Amino acid sequence: MERRALPGRLVWKLGDVVATREETARATSITLAVPNWSGHRAGQHVDVRLTAEDGYQVERSYSIASPPAEAPRLTLTVERLGDGEVSPYLVDELRVGDKLELRGPIGGYFVWEASVGGPLLLVAGGSGIVPLMAMIRQRAAVGSTVPTRLLYSSRTYDEIIYREELEQLVTSRSTGLEVIHTLTRAQPMGWTGYDRRIDGEMLREVAWPISERPLSFICGPTPFVETAAASLVTLGYELARIKTERFGPTGESAVSGASGASGGE
Amino acid sequence: METKLDGNAAGGVLREIFPFEMTDAQVTCVGCGATNAIGALGAYMHGMGTVLRCPSCDYVLMRMAHANGQYWLDMRGVRVLQIREETVQAQ
């Protein structure tokens, strides 16, 4: 249903799918061209709406993976959830040339821009990497040297989203980006990284000294985020400098690659 | 069990009612007096509507619903709502 646009209110827009890219077996990136896109900030999300032939509508939130520098195009990375109403369509059915209804950008809290500084501690669980990747990409795009550590938890090596791009960013630009992986379910032969779920001890080893007052962004499934945030607080980090974004495992309505605001559903 | 999200996830719903980005606005809880950004609140979202709770004491700060051509906004748990001038001017 089209409503008259009021100044400042978000309106639904139709974006054109201009590219898709399989990131992992379960996650796909969708690049959209959106007419009159106002631009966004790293960490923001959009709401996506699907309408069935009978008029049934369902909305989900997805984090923007691309940096503001790539506007007017934006890329979402969506992880397929088996029982999702939206993500299987986005991951498996959507094709270049299709249109997708969305509104945004949304969010002024879970955002980072170079002027905010750091050091940054980014903690990602699964498709929770998506909004953090927008920050990492923006940081690279503007040549920021803010010291940044990403602690990234995936189930298996093959499920690490953006794995090669992260490797390239770490090795090709010596600008103070460090990426630390943990693989919780299975590890390849010779794996030397962490092999367990994120816990307080791991965060103590990875996080910046408390005296450096890092700014932390944590994104992932709700239990993951709560464990990571509670561990940081227990270790003595300032609660006011820990920002979180949860998404539900079933995708009720979160953002991320899920349906909270990052990438899952 | 209902999934807890962050107030950030309610940003789109809030933008249906308010003409500017609301997730970095600050709200003060009637229950405990804590002041937090809306993006940092606990959010419970389902078909019936959205409930935002205080991250410090779990008190219900805001309830929002959209039904029958009406938006319903219950802010009984918010003592003070602070919106930065630059947020308003950005629109």
- The tens digit of pLDDT for each residue in A245-262 reads 998 654 434 444 444 444
- Total H helices, total E strands in chain B: 2, 8
For domain A13-106, give the fold.
Elongation Factor Tu (Ef-tu); domain 3 (2.40.30)
| pLDDT-based confidence at residue B2 (cuts at 50, 70, 90) | low
Asked if A244 reaches chain B (Cβ–Cβ under 8 Å), the answer is: yes
Q: Token match 């030397």: residue?
A: A192
Cβ of A243 and B39 within 8 Å? yes
Measured between beta carbons, which residues in chain B are less than 8 angstroms from residue A222? Answer: 3-5
Measured between beta carbons, which residues in chain B are less than 8 angstroms from residue A7? Answer: 19, 91
Q: What is the pTM of this model?
A: 0.90
Best to test chain B binding among A4, A10, A259 (most B CBs inside 10 Å)? A10
Q: Token match 């940092």: residue?
A: B40
Predicted confidence (pLDDT) per residue in A29-78, tens digit: 999 999 888 889 999 999 999 998 998 888 889 999 999 988 889 999 99
Measured between beta carbons, which residues in chain A are less than 8 angstroms from residue B23? Answer: 106-110
Given a cut of 90, is residue A226 above it in pLDDT?
Answer: yes
The CATH number of the structural domain formed by A114-246 is 3.40.50.80
Predicted confidence (pLDDT) per residue in A136-191, tens digit: 999 999 999 999 999 999 999 999 999 999 999 998 766 799 999 999 999 999 99
Measured between beta carbons, which residues in chain A are less than 8 angstroms from residue B16? Answer: 9-10
Cβ of A108 and B39 within 8 Å? yes
Residue A248: per-residue pLDDT: 65
Specify the length of chain A in residues: 265
For chain A, domain boundaries: 13-106, 114-246
Predicted confidence (pLDDT) per residue in A94-140, tens digit: 999 999 999 999 999 999 999 998 899 999 999 999 999 999 999 99
In contact, A238 and A229? CB cutoff 8 Å: no
Q: Residue B66: exposed, middle, or buried by beta-carbon count in 10 A (0-12, 13-18, 19+)?
A: middle
What chain A residue is nearest to B5 in terms of C-alpha separation?
A246
What chain B residue is nearest to A239 in terms of C-alpha separation?
B40
